[in-house]
Structure 1
């Protein structure tokens, strides 16, 4: 079996994800509002697939800032958090002029690995446009190597975020 087939087998069906998102409504989600502007879309007014990734990153950086971690300061301290794994499922396309909510939260943190979960939903919560997961690892920018541990301030803030 190929890696692609393995990955598809791990991704729940759209209906299963929508059920999970309903259950997750009471969990600690950070919410980041977005508006679809013309530069996010193709000529047909449909959001380009890469725009969703940008919104996911914006939401993650805003979430970190909300708990006292300014990403620019983190990078200045010599720590970067690059994406090492990305899984996205597109459920329905957003269109030019629409608004939505990007929801994100950490769901796992082991050593220097941080897993973030995402849902992009309509403002009224009736439509799920995207679900996804992103795994980050802490990297020492100077050495270009994975760090042995997260900086204490980052780890402590992320633990509080998960509570």
Structure 2
């Protein structure tokens, strides 16, 4: 599942609010980092969640498979990477990882995101533009 050539990278810094009582990044915050990366990727493609909502399009996380390998700590500078592992009509599976400056993988995940009609709250096909942008992106 390691990403040898990530399609999108997003830098983050660990802040005090991200850590637990032991000084490490609280485990749930890795999901937040992954979400920020996917959202920034969308923004870099000239889209946004709010503009998609205007078209009754929303993305929802359907499944997460995540492995925690090493800890991250206050003021660490990390890189969140993302690529598309599987593209289907109504879902995208992202391969994501968080690495430290030495390139050590701290956390990795496969995250399946479904496209839904936000009024009907039912699955729908991704607009073709989104599929093309995510699968052909070289960012």
TM over 0.5: yes
Match of 2:25?
A: 47
User: Which has the higher relative contact order, 1 or 2, with Cα contacts under 8 A spaced 6 or more apart?
Assistant: 2
User: How many angstroms apart in 1 are the aligned matches of 2:76 and 2:132?
Assistant: 36
Which string of whole-angstrom CA distances, capped at 9 and with x for unpartnered residues, describes residues 59-87 of structure 1? 00111111222122112211011000001
Three-state SS of the structure 2 residue aligned to 1:138 is strand
Shift in Å, 1:161: 2.2
Residue in structure 1 matching 2:115, options 138, 144, 154? 138
Of Structure 1 and Structure 2, which has the larger fraction of its residues in helix?
A: 1
**TM superposition outliers: structure 1 runs of 4+ over 4 Å:** none
Q: Give RMSD over aligned pairs.
A: 1.7
Match of 2:126?
A: 150
Q: TM-score, normalised by structure 2?
A: 0.92
Q: Is 1:159 aligned with 2:139?
A: no
Shift in Å, 1:131: 0.7
Of Structure 1 and Structure 2, which has the larger fraction of its residues in strand?
A: 2
Q: TM-score, normalised by structure 1?
A: 0.79
Shift in Å, 1:155: 2.3
Which string of whole-angstrom CA distances, capped at 9 and with x for unpartnered residues, describes residues 59-116 of structure 1? 0011111122212211221101100000100000101111110001111101111000
Q: How many residues align?
A: 139
Ranges in structure 2 where 5+ consecutive residues have no aligned partner:
none
Q: Is 1:79 aligned with 2:57?
A: yes
Q: Which structure is larger by alpha-carbon Rg, 1 or 2?
A: 1
Shift in Å, 1:43: 1.7
Asked whether the 8 Å contact 1:114–1:136 carries over to 2, the reply is yes
Three-state SS of the structure 2 residue aligned to 1:82 is strand
